[in-house]
Amino acid sequence: MQETEIVVIGAGVIGLSTALRLRQAGKEVTILERGAVGKEASWAGGGILSPLHAWRYRPALLELAREGMRQYPDFAREIHSATGIDPEFQASGMWILDSPQSPASADLVDWAATWGWGWQWYSAAQMRERAPMLRTGAALFCPEVAQVRNPRLLAGLARYIGQLGASVYEQHEVQEIRPDGSGWIISAADTQFRADQILLSGGSWSARILSKIGIQLPIRPVRGQILLLQGQVAALPQVVLEGSHYLVQRADGQILVGSTSEEAGFDKSCTANAAEELLAFAHRVFPASREATLLRHWSGLRPGSPDNIPFLGEVPEHPGIFVASGHFRYGLTLAPVTAELMRDRILGRPIRLDLRPYGLPIASKA
> Hey, which bits of 69-190 come out as E strands?
94-97, 120-122, 139-142, 146-147, 167-169, 174-180, 183-188
In this prediction, residue 101 carries a pLDDT of: 78
Residue 149, CA distances (Å) to 161, 199, 288 in order: 19, 26, 22
Helix (H, G, I), strand (E, B) or coil at 299: strand
What does the chain come to in residues?
Answer: 366
One-letter amino acid for residue 243 of the chain: G
Superfamily covering domain 2-44+152-219+307-364? FAD/NAD(P)-binding domain (3.50.50.60)
- How far apart, in whole angstroms, are the C-alpha atoms of residue 266 and residue 264? 6
Residues 6+ apart with CB under 8 A from 69: 49, 50, 144, 145, 146, 333
In this prediction, residue 362 carries a pLDDT of: 59
Q: How far apart are the first and last CA of the chain?
A: 32
- How far apart, in whole angstroms, are the C-alpha atoms of residue 24 and residue 225? 35
**Residue pair 221/302 in contact by the 8 Å Cβ criterion:** yes
Helix (H, G, I), strand (E, B) or coil at 20: helix
Full-model pTM: 0.96
**Residue pair 62/202 in contact by the 8 Å Cβ criterion:** no
Instruction: Kindly report the number of other CB atoms within 10 A of residue 74's CB atom.
Output: 11
Q: 164: number of CA atoms within 13 Å, CB side?
A: 25
Listed by start position, the domains of the chain span 2-44+152-219+307-364, 93-144+220-305
In this prediction, residue 298 carries a pLDDT of: 98
Residue 313, CA distances (Å) to 49, 85, 347, 358 in order: 23, 31, 12, 7
**Residue pair 247/255 in contact by the 8 Å Cβ criterion:** yes
One-letter amino acid for residue 345 of the chain: R
**Residue pair 151/298 in contact by the 8 Å Cβ criterion:** no
Q: What does DSSP assign to residue 25?
A: T
Which 3-state string (H, E, C) describes 185-224? EEEECCEEEEEEEEEECCHHHHHHHHHHHCEECCCEEEEE
Choose among 305, 273, 293, 333: nearest CA to 67: 333
**Residue pair 338/324 in contact by the 8 Å Cβ criterion:** yes
Q: Do the strands 2-9 and 29-32 form a parallel or antiparallel pair, or are they unpaired?
A: parallel
- How far apart, in whole angstroms, are the C-alpha atoms of residue 165 and residue 161? 6
- How far apart, in whole angstroms, are the C-alpha atoms of residue 57 and residue 308? 8
pLDDT tens track, the chain, 366 positions:
899 999 999 999 999 999 999 999 999 999 999 999 999 999 999 999 999 999 999 999 999 999 999 999 999 999 999 999 999 999 999 999 998 877 888 899 999 999 999 999 999 999 999 999 999 999 999 999 999 999 999 999 999 999 999 999 999 999 999 999 999 999 999 999 999 999 999 999 999 999 999 999 999 999 999 999 999 999 999 999 999 999 999 999 999 999 999 999 999 999 999 999 999 999 999 999 999 999 999 999 999 999 999 999 999 999 999 999 999 999 999 999 999 999 999 999 999 999 999 999 755 554
Name the fold adopted by 93-144+220-305.
Answer: D-Amino Acid Oxidase; Chain A, domain 2 (3.30.9)
